Structure formats: structure tokens, C-alpha cells
Structure 1
Amino acid sequence: MTREVRAFAVTVLTLAALGVTAGLLWSGLTPRAPYQVTDQGTVLADPTTQALIAADGWFAVITGGLGLLCGGVAWFSARRWMLPVLLGLCAGGVAAAYLTLWTGSTFTLGAVVVEAAPSATGAKIVPGALKLTAQGVLVSWPLLAVGFFGLLEGMHGYRESPLRAPYGGLGPN
């Protein structure tokens, strides 16, 4: 029982640590949306900007790629404790996705370049903080990790199955 709990905890903590790293990577790669400072606060300077969509896309690519990597590594390394590792991939993937979001939106890395059409009022243009507009990309890490793990297990189970042979391994009658 303690080995299963340990396998679960190691999986969750490993993915959480990767989530912080992924957040820093997301912060460094993603372009920032331009915001205009007004008397009412900051408002989006260029409504036609693609930076908000790019932030969602980069988040999905980074977390999805890490989800596939984590699912493959977990399947190859955890042959004895499949269920605790699978549950750890699910819980750790959710935690890692939220840590990626928090880290990426809290810390600013890399050169922040802001491009916007010039305003008629001459208001100051500042880079906005990273945020997700499509909340559905938060599930890309756990979904792809668990899905790839299941795909590998299904292919392995099919390869080892006696039902793969013609007539279920039995000769023709």
C-alpha cells in the first residue's frame, strides 16, 4: 500500500515541478497583448490583436507536449504500479496545468514586445499580463497524458493477447 501511495505522490510532485517550468517557458515564448492606460484603467489597445489567441495556443502546445511526454515516460517506467501512476498523471496533470497558468501569468520572462495601432489620444501602451481566454486548454496536459498512457497500454495488451491470433489462439474446427 505504501509503495502505491509513493508512486502516486512522486508522479504528482514531478508533474507539479514540470508545471512551474512550463509556466516559465510559456511566459518566455508568448507575445503579450497591448493594453492602453486610461482614466478607467487598462483596456485592450488593439481589438484585432492575435496575442490573446497566441497565448492560448502556446499554452496548449506546451502543456499538450509535456502531457504526451509524461504519459510515455510514466508508461515505460511504471510497469509495476500502473493504477497509482495513472491516477497520479490525472491529478498531477491538473495541478501542473494550473501551476503553469499561475507561473506564466505571474512572472514575465523574455523580451516583451508590444505592437498596437497608434491611438488618437496618445495614451500610453503597455504589455498586458498573460491570461487564458479559452479555459478548455487547461485540460490538455492531463487529457493527453492519460490518453497516451492508455493508448500505450492498449497496444501492449493487444500485442500480448491470445485473441490476436486467428480463431482466438484455437485451431479451426
Structure 2
Amino acid sequence: MTAPLTPHDPPPARTAADGCHRLPAPPPPEGPARNRSVTTRELVEAALVALAVGLLGIALGLLWLWLAPRVELVSDGRAVYMKNSEAEDAIGADGRFVLLGLALGALSAVAVFLFRRQGGIPLVLGLAVGGLLASVVAWRLGVHLGHEGDILRRAREVGPGVAFDKSLELRAKGALLAWPAAAMAVHLALTGLFGPRDPEPQPYPEPPRPAQPAAPDGPGLH
């Protein structure tokens, strides 16, 4: 007889001789779940996406120049003032830039998703970098084309009491993040909803059942 186990003693290990078998180790994950290095093709595709999206900033700059409200100024011969100090045109240009950036960012994400449905971190990063580049291009292009010259010289040219437009400007530089933020959010949502699914994990094989010992012959049976 053996001594009874106390609550602090670990249970004895059972081996194959006791009729138990260890479960086999789980198989390694397959498919997208397995860690892999970024391929050259993915880097090239990400660079092409960033360049193509960045060139779309020209369209954003022209749309912003066309749709952004202008602030009207007026001079009394000694100083220049806003014609309507309570108007929202002073922040309307920033808001219009944000709305256009969100719309074009969503459209660029849909186009990139249709171009390559598999997704991937390099592609998302290329989309974000391209969106930021497009915003900077649009900002500088709109400011350049919407420049009205020196305010004081312009006021002297038009004369006192005559309203004239102020140069287009972007006050809130955070508006530059509207395009890349919308592009990444929409692309990740499309990938999660319509992208390829990870393969189902393979079930563990059933452990072999222990062999049943043969029943001993009874006494007197031959």
C-alpha cells in the first residue's frame, strides 16, 4: 500500500502503460496567419499606389479652388477690414478642404481595394502616404492659384469701399490628414467585409484509444 496523497502533493504522472496517451502537438498555422516577410512585389505595388494617389492631389487642389468660399475684404483708405466679420467664410475654406479630402480618400480606398483585394500592411501604408502627399499637393496648388497678390496694393487698386477677395489659405493644417485617415478607414473596412478569409484551423487528430486487456480465462475452463 502507498501513503494517501495530501492536498499539497501533485497527482502522479500517468504514462502510456496506464492506458493514457499524450495528445500530439498542434500543427503550425497555415495561410495568412503564418508570419512571413514582405515581398518585393508588395513594396512595388505600395510605391505605385502612393504615387498614383499623390497625383490625385491636383484634382483636389482644383476642386478646392473652385468650391471654397472666399473671404471678402474692404478698405476705407487707411486700413483693410473683412466686409462681413460674422461670416463663416473664414473657416469655410478649411471645412471644404476636409470634406473634399474625405470624399476623395474614400474613393481612392475603393479603387485600391478593387485593384488588389488581398490588402496587406504595405498597401495600406502606401495608401496613407499617397493620401498625405495628395493633400500637400492640393494645399500648395490651391494656395498658389488662389493668391490675389499683396492685400494693401490690391486695396489701393480697387479703391475705398470696394470689396475684393482675400487670397485662399488653409488655416487648420490638420485638414491635411482627412484624406489619409478616410482612405485607411475605408480600405480596412472593405478588407474586413469583403476580403479573403483565413482558412479554418485543422482539427486535432483523435488520440489512439488504449488497447483493452484480454479477459483472463476463468478457473476450470479449458
TM-score range, shorter chain: 0.7 to 0.9
2:117 to 54, 79, 93: 79
Secondary structure at 1:35 match in 2: strand
Distance 2:47 2:77 in 1: 49
- Matched-pair contact (CA < 8 Å) for 2:53–2:130: yes
Identify if the C-alpha distance between structure 1 residues 104 and 38 changes in structure 2 by more than 3 Å, giving closer, same or farther: farther
1:45 to 83, 88, 106: 83
Partner of 1:8: 46
**Residue type of the alignment partner of 1:6:** V
Identify if the C-alpha distance between structure 1 residues 80 and 126 changes in structure 2 by more than 3 Å, giving closer, same or farther: same
Identify if the C-alpha distance between structure 1 residues 28 and 75 changes in structure 2 by more than 3 Å, giving closer, same or farther: same
1:98 and 2:136 are equivalent in the alignment = yes
Q: 1:126 Cα shift?
A: 1.6
Unmatched segments (≥5 aa) in structure 1? 109-120
Partner of 2:179: 141
Deviations 1:9-53 (A, max 9, x none): 211111111111110111011221012347787543321122123
Whose helix proportion is higher, 1 or 2? 1
Q: 1:68 Cα shift?
A: 0.4
The runs of at least 4 aligned residues of structure 1 exceeding 6 Å deviation read 38-41
Higher relative contact order (Cα pairs below 8 Å, separated by 6+ residues): 1
Q: Tell me the TM-score normalised to structure 1 length.
A: 0.74
Deviations 1:48-106 (A, max 9, x none): 12212321221112111000011111122123563222111111111111111111121
Distance 2:42 2:78 in 1: 54
Partner of 1:160: 197
Partner of 1:113: none
Instruction: Report the aligned-residue RMSD.
Output: 2.8
Secondary structure at 2:56 match in 1: helix
Deviations 1:126-157 (A, max 9, x none): 20112223333221100010001111112235
**Residue type of the alignment partner of 2:187:** F
Q: Tell me the TM-score normalised to structure 2 length.
A: 0.59
- Percent identical pairs in the alignment equals 28
Partner of 2:55: 17
Deviations 1:95-130 (A, max 9, x none): 11111111112114xxxxxxxxxxxx9344220112
